[in-house]
Amino acid sequence: MCHGRFSTLSYIIFCLLFFISESHASWWGAFLNSGEEAAKFAKKASVVAGRAVLKTLPKSRQGAHALEISGSEIRAIDIAGREIVIATMSTGAAMTLTPQGAALLKQVELIVSEIDVNRLEHIVRDAIKASGKPAFVVSENGTVGRLVVRATPTGETLLMEKYPGIFIRAGERSAELSWALERPFQNDKIRVVSLMDPSDADELARLDKVVGEYHIPVGSHTPSEAVHQIRSQREKTVFVVGHVEKDKFIVRDSAGQIKSEISFSELEDAAEKADASLFLLGCSAAACSTTSAFIDPVNALRVADGLKDAISRATLGDALSALSTAGDIVVSSKVVHSARVMLFAEQKALLVDKRIESSYRVLKLTTVGRERAEELADRIVPYIPSWVQYPYFVGAFFLIFSARGIVREWKSFRTPAPAFARKPIISTLVKGIRILGFAVLMPLAVCLNLAIIFGAWVVGTVPLFMTLGWTTLVPAYFGWKWSRHFAEEANGEPWTVRYLGIPLFVGIIGILVAILMSPIELFRGIEYADLQARLIYWVASGSTSMLISAFALRFLTRRKSNWNPADIPGLVIAGALLLIEFCVSRVLHKGETADD
């Protein structure tokens, strides 16, 4: 044993020394890098593989050629597998087209692997311009996107479709952009700033209807006020909708006269200072801006409809895909910085939540007594029976720990209230219903939630352990298995919620077994029976429990089932929130006009 320990220790020390030495570290680094390169090549081989990609295309596109870099040569492969060398690369990565290649590129559609796009950028760009035919890119996960050439501030640029309708500029770090696009998209963090004259009433009304209070019309403001508005949107996702002429948003009235104009650079500076993600939603704004923007001409009503779809999506990528129904969008790498800042802010907020929670844990020890609470309740809300008041105040107290989380979750799915300036009465009603509904219902919901958790643990375990004895351990074990099955989903919940499956199983199956056993004469008055009768009872009740528990567990954890015991307490809170939102939707529905 001792020898074994020493040999393990010496092995670890040897390995450490091996890494400590600089030359060895560089050797390992090179080895690991070469592994990465090998993996890349393998992936590339699997993605491009000439004919394999071409065969996935429709028949009309089967004249296309796949481009592949092979050593110092660039080859075009057709569907039959014929290879033509179209260019050669020198050591400085300069490319020389072969006469065959120059002729071919003027005639055919091209397909390129995502890994090669940056290196083949010039060839593909020139080919698209020369042939006027489309080109495609095959991503690492096998999906096919478009390659287009558009004018940008840095000249004509090759844009690569990363997700449906979402393009990135060739040469930008697509891995970081992918990370930013997969970040959660919270609809309460978006702001739609419209730069339109009040005479564009239909467009403004549509935006109001779609995003409600998150719509900020600044068309009638001065340019500096509009810029200030953007500046005040800290860590938000800001969509600026307006009429674009060259590199400016221009507000024109219905007579076509210019009312105000704001350059893209002013908006970009303001957004950068506010750590906000900026999207310029105007015709071909990408041609004059390095920010995320539309590539081609768009229509304001379609943009509004796209925004309507976008705000209900889970990730930024999905939201932009929904928005791209109005027109293709190019996403800038600037969103990566904003996404990082937002992530940092969210983590900081969680830390504050935890601090608040721990400080209230201390307060909990010195809370007011029951008599005092009764007295206070009588003073504040007279005429309300105490059986409502007790749970209300108990719930209100525990709500302190969870209110922030509940409100955050609520914000993510609730419909935005209409803007006050447009519909003051409905806006006030919606906000009033939400505040009143939360104040009245939520303490009661939290109390009911606690009653379910603690009630299940107390009622579902203690009395049954006393009556059924050791056989109660059987459903308890299956209850534990049930909770373990959903352990990942319940991660972060307190253990009383995480293992709620145990008391639920014990309670329901224990009572069921007790009912099944009760008609049998032998088991009547089992507490006073002899050891033999008790042993038979344990075996019988244990086997029955096991049988029922196994069937129940199989049913509850079958594939695609979502019977997570830890979700049960959350249903009460969700129910209260849905009830409030139902009332709000009734008011919002009444506020809709006949024109809508």
Contact residues for other proteins (CB under 8 A)? 196, 198-203, 205, 241-245, 252-258, 260-261, 281-284, 294, 297-303, 421-422, 424-425, 593-595
User: Which of residues 111 and 304 has its CB atom nearest to other proteins in the complex?
Assistant: 304
> Cα–Cα distance between 556 and 486 in angstroms, integer?
11
- The one-letter code for the residue type at 38 is A
Taking the complex as a whole, how short is the minimal distance between the CB of residue 206 and other proteins, in angstroms?
Answer: 9
At which residue do the structure tokens 């080895």 appear?
A: 31
Secondary element (H or E) of residue 119:
none
With left for phi above 0 and alpha for psi between -120 and 50, is residue 266 left, alpha or beta? alpha
Nearer to other proteins, 67 or 251 (CB): 251
> Cβ of residue 426: shortest distance to other proteins, in angstroms?
11
- 3-state secondary structure (DSSP) of residue 166: strand
Minimum CB separation of residue 419 from other proteins in Å reads 9
C-alpha 338/C-alpha 277 separation (Å) is 6
Task: HSE, CB side, 13 Å, CA atoms: give it for residue 378.
Answer: 6
Smallest gap from residue 328 Cβ to other proteins (A): 14
Q: Which is nearer to other proteins, 101 or 242 (CB)?
A: 242
Helices (H), 469-500: 473-485, 495-498
- Nearest residue (CB) to other proteins, 437 versus 591: 591
Q: In the complex, what is the shortest distance from the CB of residue 296 to other proteins, in angstroms, rounded to a whole number?
A: 9
**Using the 8-state DSSP alphabet, how is residue 315 labeled?**
B
CA distance 376 to 159: 66
Smaller CB distance to other proteins: residue 286 or 319? 286
Q: Rounded to an integer, what distance in angstroms lies between the CA atom of residue 27 and that of residue 121?
A: 33
Task: Give the DSSP letter of residue 340.
Answer: H
Cβ 136 vs Cβ 93: under 8 Å: no
Min CB(245)–other proteins separation in Å: 6
Q: What string of DSSP letters covers 374-435?
A: HHHHHHHSTTS-HHHHHHHHHHHHHHHHHHHHHHHHHHHHSPPPPPTTT-HHHHHHHHHHHH
Minimum Å gap between C-beta 294 and other proteins is: 8
Contact 467, 536 (CB under 8 A): no
Residue 410 token pair: 């609520």
What contacts 24+ positions apart, CB below 8 Å, involve 146-155? Answer: 147/110, 147/112, 147/117, 148/295, 148/328, 149/125, 150/286, 150/287, 150/295, 150/330, 151/287, 152/286, 152/287, 152/290, 153/247, 153/287, 153/288, 153/289, 153/290, 154/290
Write down the least CB distance from residue 244 to other proteins, Å: 5
Cβ contact 184:206 at 8 Å: no
d(CA 240, CA 226): 10
Our CB check for other proteins shows the closer of 254 and 561 to be 254
Smallest distance, Å, CB 216 to other proteins? Answer: 14
- In contact, 118 and 171? CB cutoff 8 Å: yes
The helix or strand, by DSSP H or E, that contains position 148, with its residue range, turns out to be strand 144-152
Which of 135, 285 has the CB closer to other proteins? 285
Any idea what DSSP says for residue 184? B
Given the complex with other proteins, which of 152 and 471 has the nearer CB atom?
A: 152
**Toward other proteins, which CB reaches closer, 71 or 256?**
256
CB of 309 to other proteins, least distance (A): 16
CB of 302 to other proteins, least distance (A): 7
User: Cβ 242 to other proteins, closest distance in Å?
Assistant: 7
Structure tokens at 79: 């569907």
77 or 244: whose CB is closer to other proteins?
244
Q: Which residue's CB is nearer to other proteins, number 241 or number 577?
A: 241
Kindly state the smallest distance separating residue 289's Cβ from other proteins, in Å.
Answer: 13
Q: For residues 297 and 455, which CB has a smaller minimum distance to other proteins in the complex?
A: 297
d(Cα 184, Cα 182) in Å, to the nearest integer?
6
Q: Closest CB to other proteins among 301 and 535?
A: 301
